[in-house]
Amino acid sequence: MNAFLRTGLWLGGAVLAAGAAGAAALWSGIYDVGADAPHTRPVYAVLEYARERSVATRASAIAVPADLDDAERVRRGAGNYAAMCAGCHLTPGAGPSELSRGLYPAPPNLSQREVDAASAFWTIKHGIKASGMPAWGGSMDDAHLWDLVAFLGRLPSLDAQGYRELVARSDGHSHGGGEDASGHGAMGGHAHRNDARSGAGDAQGHDAGAGDAATGGHAHAHDDAHQPAPRDNAKAAPPTEDAHTHRDGRSHRH
């Protein structure tokens, strides 16, 4: 048996042995996939490198719009960031949120990090497997995604007050997916209004924390304009009570 053949057999045997060991480890469940148990350093390094190279390769073919510094783009992107991103990627002056603390790998704090526009667009549109990053391209058109990227370019330069003011001036949570008057469209889009106090309170003054630096949560402003209860409704409230009927047909009294 010549040396070349012996080397080939040795390598083949090593590969088979490694494969058998890997299969046994997978079957045993020995590797902890809990989000509160960090990857080993070699596994983390491999996954991070694979992610970075995958995004960079696909983003290299993306044409970046020339107007990402446009103030109107930035304004529109602010509301969607507050509603969809701040809970994980945080806001200026804020510490980790309840959600960001529970995710692994930890989402980057985008209020403190500059991003590559093409890579950011690809990531927002397609998401990242097994990371908690959703693929927003399924519910948002490219124009709205680029508005988000435009806002990300401005975000690291904002302080907490500047962030809140910009969110308050935005259109709120708007997917651009053909929303109807109620704010819900064929693509499940939402059109949520902002108020000046919180950056994302609703029309009735509710503020559940959208744009809140402490939580990164967001409030939904359901555009269910109140209508007087019809007088021929047997269950209508007496004239002395304040009765309202929502667009879904349900009524309540104050």
Q: Where are the domains of the chain?
A: 41-169
At 185 the pLDDT is: 39
Q: Indicate if the pLDDT at residue 2 is higher than 70.
A: yes
Q: Indicate if the pLDDT at residue 64 is higher than 60.
A: yes
pLDDT digits (tens, 9 = 90+) for 130-153: 899 999 999 999 999 999 999 999
Most confident of 24-33, 87-96, 227-236: 87-96
Contact 210, 199 (CB under 8 A): yes
Give me 215's structure tokens: 């939580």
CA dihedral 241, 247, 249, 252 (to 10 degrees): -30
End-to-end CA, the chain: 94
At 251 the pLDDT is: 54
Strand partners, 228: 244
Contact 180, 109 (CB under 8 A): no
Q: Indicate if the pLDDT at residue 252 is higher than 70.
A: no
* Domain covering 41-169: architecture: Orthogonal Bundle (1.10)
CA dihedral 204, 174, 119, 122 (to 10 degrees): 130
Per the document, the length of the chain is: 254
Residue 125: closest CA among 104, 106, 91, 148: 148
**Residue 108: pLDDT band by 50, 70, 90 thresholds?**
very high
96: Cβ contacts below 8 Å, ≥ 6 apart:
90, 106
At 22 the pLDDT is: 81
Q: Of all helices (H) and strands (E), which one includes residue 126?
A: helix 117-126
Q: What is the rounded distance in angstroms from the CA atom of residue 144 to the CA atom of residue 83?
A: 13
At 197 the pLDDT is: 34
Q: What is the rounded distance in angstroms from the CA atom of residue 143 to the CA atom of residue 89?
A: 21
pLDDT digits (tens, 9 = 90+) for 173-231: 987 654 433 344 333 344 444 443 333 333 333 333 333 333 334 444 444 433 444 44
116: Cβ contacts below 8 Å, ≥ 6 apart:
59
Q: What is the rounded distance in angstroms from the CA atom of residue 239 to the CA atom of residue 1?
A: 103
Rounded (5°) CA angle 65-67-70: 145
Q: What is the mean pLDDT of residues 159-169?
A: 97
